[in-house]
Amino acid sequence: MCSDIMGNDYQRETLTEGSYFLYNVFCDMTGCIELIEIDVSRLKNNSGEIKKLNIAVDMPPVLSEVEKIEFDGPVKLDLVLTNVNNTIVVEGDISAKLRLACGNCLDSFTFPVQAEFSETYYNEGREGIEPGEFYTPYNGDKLDLTPEVIKSIFVALPMRVVCRQDCKGLCPTCGRNRNRENCDCAPETIDPRLEMLKKLLPKD
Ligand SMILES: [Zn+2]
Ligand SMILES: [Zn+2]
């Protein structure tokens, strides 16, 4: 982990598989982030070559459509990079912990997520490769996996998460968090079947 927070950029080579892979560490006033950027100068030219990437990366918060999602601890990547006919196929598993808001009580909690990664990259400057619909372009000798890693994690997230199975949620009347305190509001006396129907109707 980088300790320099005063705006110095530098590169660090990882110890994975020799001096083959690297990722950049950028630091600014808000802290340090690591991009999952891999040197593929050799891999991209050797059809059939395989390299393994097993790293833990500190990733910056991600802005989704509705909220800023922070990672709780490093994102672990267990990936295999294969040169298949001079495209680079990257496959494997990602595990991360995210700070998410409970869909019931809105409290922030840590949600572990396992994601599959599968992406095919082609070098834009290379002749003889037909860019396929599912190919992701890259330039030069560096492959930046960061956007697709983030995408894979988001795809693996359920639509709605709850902090725990028996989360009691917020009181619909006074808004208190019923996991933490009780209130004197009268319980809702709605037939559960009507409640189901209510959920299906558009909210006004
Ligand atoms: Zn909850
Ligand atoms: Zn209440």
CA of 79 to the centre of ligand 1 (A): 33
What is the percentage of the chain residues whose pLDDT exceeds 90? 36
Q: What is the pLDDT of residues 70-93, one digit of tens each?
A: 899 989 999 999 999 889 999 999
What is the percentage of the chain residues whose pLDDT exceeds 70? 70
Name the nearest CA neighbour of 157 among 118, 105, 101.
101
CA of 191 to the centre of ligand 2 (A): 19
Q: What is the pLDDT of residue 164?
A: 93
pLDDT at 14 over 50: no
User: Can you give the residue ranges of every domain in the chain?
Assistant: 10-167
- The ligand that comes nearest to the alpha carbon of residue 163 is 1
- The ligand that comes nearest to the alpha carbon of residue 167 is 1
Residue 7 near residue 27 (C-beta atoms within 8 A)? yes
CA of 190 to the centre of ligand 1 (A): 22
CB neighbours of 151 closer than 8 A, spacing ≥ 6?
Answer: none
Mean pLDDT (whole number) for 38-47: 89
Residue 107 near residue 94 (C-beta atoms within 8 A)? no
Q: What is the pLDDT of residues 147-195, one digit of tens each?
A: 899 889 988 988 889 999 999 999 999 999 999 999 988 776 666 666 6
> Residue written as tokens 């809105």?
106
CA of 186 to the centre of ligand 1 (A): 21
Q: What is the pLDDT of residue 22?
A: 46
Mean pLDDT of the chain: 79
CA of 171 to the centre of ligand 2 (A): 5
CA of 182 to the centre of ligand 2 (A): 7
CA of 163 to the centre of ligand 2 (A): 20
CA of 155 to the centre of ligand 1 (A): 22
CA of 105 to the centre of ligand 1 (A): 4
CA of 102 to the centre of ligand 2 (A): 18
In degrees rounded to 5, what are phi and psi of residue 114? -110, 130
Residue 163 near residue 107 (C-beta atoms within 8 A)? yes
Mean pLDDT (whole number) for 58-64: 75
- The ligand that comes nearest to the alpha carbon of residue 186 is 2
Residue 117 near residue 146 (C-beta atoms within 8 A)? no
